[in-house]
């Protein structure tokens, strides 16, 4: 029934029909915008269940673009996925649909196993059936995380690369590690044309404010304390979401089949330093004088909290000529400024009002039950 909106669709008029799973999320929406603007001969199908982190308003300006379509669906719904592949003549997949918040995985791991592992398996099976005549003509790109590699020493020069042994420490990272292995196995066993990317922490506009950077900005705007785990000395590598979208683009188009590529921003920073940088940037943009020691609240550390992540980007730089364009300084200023200028988006996403966007544009409520 939902496909009626696209009645008369002619797949052959587009060079590629790319299914982007999780396309209403933070990174997924950035990828879709990047592809639509850069490749007018492609048709992009956004397949998203619209759970708490999926927000169609992230793509509002593209809603009526002739190269864009949206299907609300569960990644584990094999019948719907198969129908989408058949109807649109899906030629390629960029797979981002995932449960992704570590704290949520600790409190409720079942959804992570269901979506990240079972969902990836079902998507692989649908793609395998649809493309069985010639796997080499189709690309399945799987977007993963550096968290699958575990933790690095807090002090040291070692970094994750494509040969790093997997060592996940949370239900989230374990489920992503399992999905990585499944994707690789479908290449080795069946010959599926796959690539995998393992990326460091993303930040930028439209990120759901449970993650560190938008959480800090939201709490500053609303005069709330800023919680920091432990001593705040956990270190992460940070990449601006637009740079990540560009990396996915180049891997999807130029990456070698069966290969993994590590993606990072080449900017390591402790959580405490991140928070202080955001406060300083907020003060600069708003002419405020918030003192970090007055608003930072140290809280009990997260269970199994990895100490340090860092990415060696030599492979993607040398082989595919990609490198991040944003410095952390330029990216964080753009990010804080965007949140300050988009208070309505922030209010809607924290209150749940953003979910009315689906009703307004598709004429129905979001059914919270999974298929």
- Known catalytic residue at 172: yes
Which helix (H) or strand (E) segment holds residue 30: the answer is: helix 26-38
Is 367 labeled as catalytic in the residue annotation? Answer: no
- Candidate list 48, 99, 146, 180, residue with the active-site label: 146
Distance CA 46, CA 84 (A): 11
Distance CA 148, CA 167 (A): 6
Triad 231, 236, 241: Cα angle to 5°: 135
For 25-44, give one letter per residue: b (16+ CB within 10 A) or e: bbbbbbbbbbbbeebeebbb
Task: Give the long-range contacts of residues 367-370, CB within 8 A, separation 24 or more.
Answer: 370/49, 370/74, 370/76
The active-site residue, picked from 48, 147, 268, 306, is: 147
> Exactly one of 47, 68, 172, 357 is catalytic; which is it?
172
CA distance 248 to 44: 15
| Biggest CA-to-CA distance, the chain | 63
- Is 167 annotated in the active site? no
Q: Which residues are catalytic?
A: 146-147, 172
């Amino acid at each position: 029934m939902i496909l009626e909106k696209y009645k008369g669709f002619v797949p052959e008029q587009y060079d590629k029909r790319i299914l982007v799973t999780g396309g209403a999320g933070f990174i997924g929406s950035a990828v879709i915008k990047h592809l639509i603007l850069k490749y007018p001969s492609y048709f992009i199908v956004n397949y998203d269940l619209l759970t708490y982190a999926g927000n169609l308003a992230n793509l509002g300006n593209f809603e009526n673009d002739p190269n864009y379509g949206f299907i609300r669906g569960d990644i584990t719904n094999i019948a719907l996925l198969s129908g989408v592949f058949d109807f649109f003549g899906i030629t390629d997949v960029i797979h981002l649909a995932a449960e992704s918040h570590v704290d949520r995985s600790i409190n409720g791991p079942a959804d992570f196993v269901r979506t990240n592992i079972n969902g990836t398996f079902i998507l692989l099976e649908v793609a395998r059936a649809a493309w069985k005549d010639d796997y080499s003509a189709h690309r399945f790109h799987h977007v993963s995380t550096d968290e699958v590699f575990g933790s690095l020493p807090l002090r040291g020069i070692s970094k994750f690369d494509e040969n790093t042994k997997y060592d996940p420490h949370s239900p989230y990272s374990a489920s992503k590690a399992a999905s990585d292995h499944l994707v690789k196995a479908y290449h080795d066993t069946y010959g599926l044309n796959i690539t995998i990317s393992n990326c460091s922490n993303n930040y930028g506009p439209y990120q759901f404010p449970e993650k560190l950077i938008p959480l800090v900005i939201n709490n500053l705007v609303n005069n709330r304390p800023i919680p920091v785990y432990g001593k705040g000395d956990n270190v992460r590598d940070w990449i601006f979401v637009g740079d990540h979208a560009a990396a996915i683009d180049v891997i999807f188009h130029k990456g070698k089949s069966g290969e993994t590529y590590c993606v990072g921003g080449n900017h390591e920073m402790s959580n405490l330093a991140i928070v202080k940088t955001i406060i300083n940037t907020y003060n600069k943009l708003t002419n405020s004088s918030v003192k970090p020691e007055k608003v930072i609240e140290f809280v009990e550390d997260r269970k199994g909290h990895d100490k340090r992540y860092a990415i060696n980007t030599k492979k993607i730089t040398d082989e595919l000529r990609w490198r991040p364009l944003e410095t952390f300084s330029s990216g964080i200023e753009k990010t804080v400024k965007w949140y300050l200028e988009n208070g309505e988006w922030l209010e809607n996403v924290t209150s749940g009002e953003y979910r009315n966007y689906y009703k307004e544009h598709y004429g129905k409520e979001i059914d919270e039950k999974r298929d």
